[in-house]
Amino acid sequence: MSETTPFLFLVLSLLTAAVSSGSGELDILLALPQTIQSSATPNPFSSWIPAASPCNFVGIKCDQNGSVTELDLSRQWLVGTVNFTLVCALPSLEKLALGFNSLGGNVLADLDRCSKLRYLDLGNNRFSGSFPEIPSLVELQYLYLNKSGLSGAFPWGSLRSMPNLVALSVGDNRFEPSPFPLEVLDLLDLNWLYMTNCSIQGKIPPGIGRLTKLINLELSVNNISGEIPNEIGNLMNLWQLELYRNNLTGRFPPGMRNLIKLEKFDASRNNLQGDLSELSNLTNLVTLQLFVNNLSGGIPPEFGNFQKLVNLSLYTNQLTGPLPEMLGSWAEFNYIDVSENFLTGRIPPNMCNRGKMKELLVLQNNLSGEIPATYTNCSTLTRFRVSNNSLTGVVPPGLWGLPNVNIIDLEMNKFEGGVTSDIQNAKALGQLFLANNKFSGDLPEEISKAESLVAIHVSNNGFTGRLPQSIGELKKLSSLHVENNMFSGLIPESLGSCDSISDVNMANNSLSGEIPASLGSLPVLNSLNLSDNLISGSIPSSLSLLRLSLLDLSNNRLTGQIPESLSIQAYNGSFAGNPGLCSYTISSFRQCSYHPGMSKDIHMLIVCFSLLAVLLCLCLGFCFYINKREKKRGRSLKEDLWDVKSFRVLSFTEDEILESIKPENLIGRGASGNVYRVVLANGKELAVKHIWNTDCNNQKKARATTPILGTCEKRSREFEAEVETLSSIRHVNVVKLYCSITSDDSSLLVYEYLPNGSLWDRLHTSRKVELDWETRYDIAVGAAKGLEYLHHGCEKPVLHRDVKSSNILLDEFMKPRIADFGLAKILQVNGGKDSTHIIAGTHGYIAPEYGYTYKVNEKSDVYSFGVVLMELVTGKRPIEAEFGDYKDIVSWVSGKLKTRESVLSMVDLRIPEAFKDDAIKVLRVAILCTATLPNLRPAMRSVVHMLEEAEPCKIVGIIIEEDENVKSKAIQPVDAAKVKPES
Ligand SMILES: *[C@@H]1O[C@H](CO)[C@@H](O)[C@H](O)[C@H]1NC(C)=O
Ligand SMILES: *[C@@H]1O[C@H](CO)[C@@H](O)[C@H](O)[C@H]1NC(C)=O
């Protein structure tokens, strides 16, 4: 007995342990869904029920003893937080996979208790905070933390206790900047290393050569400098090498040639020099991307024999010599972009041999010869761009009709011949660029069957014949440039049905006949140039309905009267060189002769003007009198009769407000009145704007610039209408108007008080504060939403007309509100094409169209908002002495878009490095908003959308492209599960 007792005891205790651990595991698992929800169908947790064995739960695997070894809930649409204390209480857990979900919260230090783990995947989630030290996870082989929302310093030291690590994926996290972690160099079994976009700086250490089992090495989008070390040549198993967007310099090191298993190589956007000879025997390359470097020399002829090559992108380098004749002819070649080099010779003819090619981009080289006829059968082509070369000959028919092509760009070459009628098959063609060649013949009528066309640019050629008369079928056409050709005949009447057209240039042809009156009904036409033709007849008065920033009808044979509405300063010179034209108002033209119908109109006009002038004088006199009376009377607000209109439930009385209108409460002087801060008895703060004689004052101010005259009475009614509309606005990003209190000679507008003042103050004045990027971004989005609401959310669109940073106020949480509607204008839905005639705004924020035409619309607000975005990104005022010749921030910014460095240099120094790319995304939106042509500016609705897309952290690794036409590259988030190491 004495011998068996301990044995029995042991068996018994083992049994109890097994039983308790079994039920313990069930409890642990059942507790997990309390903090995690899944919206997957079927819901994995529906199988997690107390009656079942945990080993039958979806996502769970057990060992022979019934103990849980695997918890795999990746891609199960999970939200919520994981209790790692619970999870790590599973004693046999070897695999924990929670990748591709939306889990949040912190990854707790308790993770270190999962000491049996071999596989840990928390990647592609939204955790926060830093990653804990995990030195106990000594068995770990696979560690996936990429794009998991982590920040702070990564515990590289923990890697020392994981000698068996095979895959390490920590990229796409905002870790604190650090040099390449030397701990990684001791992980000799590593075959998968993903460290893209995780703030690595300094050099690639030569010790990288020890990791000879690596098949994937990704270090893109970091701040790595120096040369690629020679030792990289030891990594003979490499299948993929990604060094995209760093600051690498020097040549490809000798040894690169050893990487013969390499299939994917990307070292684009660095400062690499030298030639490509070191790559000439990497015969297994599938994808080679080296764009935007300083590479020179020729393209190795061996590239022409690469049997697997399908993607080749070498644009923006200094490469010379020819492209190999057989390039891309072996595999299912996909795209080539060798634009912006100094290449010579011919376009390789066989890149579409396998019928899969999508993009042929060889812009801006010195290529010669003809377009190979082989491409006429390449039905997969979407982009064919060969502009700015020395190509010759006739474009092979068939190219015009490629069914999937969306851009054909042949500009600036020496092409001859014509466009053939098979262009009617080009159903996807959006842009046809043929300018500056020697094309001839006519533009076939069938072009109007290419229904996707947005732009037709065929200027500076030798085209003849009539313009296609059915061009009105092109409902998407936005830009038509046929200038400097020899077109003759009539301007197509059907052009008036091209509802999307904004830009028409037919200058310097031999067009004759009259200007179709239908052009006046084009809703978005902005620029019309018909100069230097043989056009006759009179100018249709319908043209005055357009909002044109450019109108040029000069040097034609037009006759008759210039419509009065077009006789404005902005169109000075638009009618020159038409000896048959006459005018009543422009002195440089012949005076129009007597016309019975006209004379009546003029009489009416004179009478109207006189009446208006008399009324104006009366009004001014009245104002003058009132002002004087006011000065004498001093502050005697309470003596007047006040009319209170409230728009919200009020917790204050009229008297409370009136008593507070005194100098000591003055907090600002605005364009339309003084602003007072009022503290009510209950402690609530209000802002009260006091406007004396609103109507007349406004009129005096506006008189210098506006052509519109009116009476005080009329203005007053307008003012009330505006106040009423604005009072109905309820939006979290628009300042609240509580009530208006009006008397005969002044008005009080009672607004909510915003304690943090204006964005202008916070950015530019002595009351400047540190605005971090997230705050600035939130201000940008909030203000955009407020403005979007004004433009699109109200019953009638409201035009603010004075958007600027001093009119964006900040509440206690620094959330923005649009304020100061002193100049706001409610657009009359049917009144004159949704535009307004009054020049308003603030220097530095005023859209250029104010200079061309009195007609402006909501796109002018968009411009001003773009200026505000630029202030947020650059920290500069709209007008600064340092802009020098550029004069204002918009032209200063556009002058600095040449290189990535100069773009980055514009970003406010107070914005940390890690957020500069985000800031540049917002800057890009600002640039779109400040386009010169109003039509090219996005509506506020899309501005909001674009800004939301630019949310910090949201798009990791998408880089601003200097040239949108050049192949852009976005980093694909690595799908850790997709490519498994060979192991
Ligand atoms: C996690 O689970 C443990 C064990 O059940 C519990 O003590 C702890 O409070 C939980 N933590 C959280 C944050 O709920
Ligand atoms: C890139 O490296 C060069 C030379 O080492 C250096 O002059 C330059 O400032 C670096 N650029 C960036 C953006 O770090």
Pocket flag, ligand 1, residue 88 (CB < 6 Å): no
Two structure tokens written together for 674: 């003084």
**Highest mean pLDDT of the ranges 460-474, 829-843, 925-939:** 460-474
Summarised one tens digit per residue, pLDDT across range 532-558 is 999 999 999 888 887 777 889 999 999
Q: What is the DSSP track for 9-38? A: HHHHHHHHHHHHHHHHHHHHHHHGGGTEEE
Which ligand minimizes its atom distance to the CA of 248? 2
Q: Identify the band that residue 10 occupies on the pLDDT scale cut at 50, 70 and 90.
A: very low
Entry pTM: 0.64
Q: What is the pLDDT of residue 365?
A: 96
Six-digit token string for 293: 């470097």
| Bridge partners, 298 (sequence order) | 320
Our mutation pick for probing the ligand 2 site, out of 199, 225, 249, 899, counting the most ligand atoms within 8 A of Cβ, is: 225
Phi then psi dihedrals of residue 566, to 5 deg? -95, -5
Name the residue of 247, 899, 917 to mutate for ligand 2: max ligand atoms within 8 A of Cβ: 247
Ligand 2, closest atom to CA 901? 13
pLDDT tens per residue, range 569-610: 667 788 999 999 988 877 788 888 755 444 445 555 554 555
For residue 144, pLDDT over 90 is answered with yes
State whether the beta carbon of 85 lies less than 6 angstroms from ligand 1: yes
H-run or E-run covering 318: strand 318-322
- What end-to-end distance do the CA atoms of the chain give, in Å? 53
Q: Which of 802, 861, 888, 917 is catalytic?
A: 802
* pLDDT score, position 185: 97
Residue 226 CA, closest ligand 2 atom number: 5
Does the structure show a pLDDT above 60 at 953? no
Q: Whose CA is nearest to atom 11 of ligand 2?
A: 247
Q: How far is the CA of 919 from the centre of ligand 2 (A)?
A: 21
pLDDT at residue 518 in the model: 92
- The whole-number pLDDT of residue 692 equals 62
Give the pLDDT score at 118: 97
Calpha distance 570→851 (Å, rounded): 7
Name which residue leads in pLDDT, 851 or 777: 777
Query: Between the CA atoms of 189, 195, 199 and 201, what dihedral angle is there, to the nearest 10 degrees?
Result: 60
Strand segments, DSSP code E, in 483-623 are 486-490, 503-505, 510-513, 527-529, 534-537, 550-552, 557-561, 580-583, 590-591
Query: To which residue do tokens 């009080």 refer?
Result: 748
Task: Name the 3-class secondary structure at 668.
Answer: strand
pLDDT score, position 204: 97
Q: How far is the CA of 386 from the centre of ligand 2 (A)?
A: 33
- From ligand 1's centre to the CA of 113, what distance in Å? 14
Question: Rounded to the nearest 5°, which phi and psi values hold at 619?
Answer: -65, -45
Nearest to 639 by CA among 745, 750, 751, 749: 745
User: For residue 800, is pLDDT > 60?
Assistant: yes
CA 380 to centroid of chain Cα atoms? 29
Nearest listed ligand to the Cα of residue 225: 2
DSSP helix/strand/coil, 525: coil
pLDDT > 70? residue 165: yes
* Nearby residues of 200 by Cβ (< 8 Å), 6 or more positions away: 177, 178, 179, 180, 219, 222, 223, 224
Minimum CA distance residue for ligand 1 atom 11: 83
Choice among 25-34, 176-185, 421-430, 709-718 with the minimum mean pLDDT: 709-718
Tens digit of pLDDT for each residue in 366-402? 999 999 999 999 999 999 999 999 999 999 989 999 9
Q: Which of 41-45, 318-322, 733-737, 971-975 has the highest mean pLDDT?
A: 318-322
In percent, how much of the chain has pLDDT > 70?
80
Pick the range with the lowest mean pLDDT from 179-193, 341-355, 382-396, 490-504.
490-504
The pick from 271, 907, 959 for probing ligand 2's pocket by mutation, whose C-beta has the most ligand atoms within 8 angstroms, reads 271
Note if 802 is an active site residue: yes
Out of 382-386, 422-426, 903-907, least confident range: 903-907
Question: Residues enclosing ligand 2, CB less than 6 A?
Answer: 225, 247, 249
576 CB-near residues (< 8 Å, 6+ apart):
554, 555
So what's the pLDDT on residue 628? Answer: 45
- Do 800 and 826 meet the contact criterion of CB atoms below 8 Å apart? no
